Amino acid sequence: SLTGHTSDHYTFALEESVINIDAIGSGPEFAIHKEHSAGQLSVTAFDVPNCLCANPKPFGEANGQLVYKHDDGTEESVSFGSRCPRPPTSNLLVKKNPTCDVRTYAGGTECCHHRWLLTDLEQAKQLPSELLNYSMKFRIWFQEYIPATATSQASHQNLVRF
C-alpha cells in the first residue's frame, strides 16, 4: 500500500482507483468553471511491472510478439505465447519465472534469432562481416514421469532445471 505520511493522511491500497472531479476556472477570481469533468486515477506500484488492462490475463497466459528492427528499416517478429508447463511438470509458473510471460520477459534465447544482432547502432560497424558458426552436442536421458500414489512417491523429485 501507499501509506499516508501521518495518520491524518489517506493510505491508498495498491491497484485501487480514486474517482476525482477536475475543474478549470475562467480566470483568477472564484467564479463559474470554464471546463469540468470527472476522472479516475489508478494507483499502482512502481519499479515493478504493472498491468493497465481492465481484465488482465493470468500470469503465463498473455500473448504478444518480439519485434526486431534491422538497420535497413525492415522488421521481423516472433510470436510469444504461453510456454511454461503447468505443475506438476514444472514449477516455473508458480514461481512466476519471467520467461513464462511476455509482460515480464527481459531477454534470452527468444531474442537471439538468425541475424538478429542485439547491439547499439554505433556498435554495428565494429561487428565482423562473417557470421560465427558453432556447434553444440547434448546427451539427453529421458524417463517417463510417474505421479505419486498412496503407496509410493513420484518418480521425479527436486529436479535440476537447465
Q: Is 44 helix (H, G, I), strand (E, B) or coil?
A: coil
Q: What digits encode the pLDDT tens for the residues 108-144?
A: 777 777 777 666 667 777 777 776 777 888 888 788 8
Is this model's pTM higher than 0.75 or not?
A: no
CA 108, CA 98: separation in Å to the nearest integer?
10
Give which of 83, 124, 77, 129 is closest to 105, Cα–Cα: 83
Q: Where are the beta strands (DSSP E) in 26-162?
A: 33-42, 64-69, 75-80
- Residue-level pLDDT at 99: 86
- Residue-level pLDDT at 151: 96
**Is pLDDT of 157 > 90?**
no
Q: What digits encode the pLDDT tens for the residues 87-101?
A: 888 899 999 898 888
Give which of 151, 152, 144, 53 is closest to 103, Cα–Cα: 53
Q: What digits encode the pLDDT tens for the residues 49-95?
A: 666 666 778 888 888 888 888 778 888 888 888 788 888 888 999 99
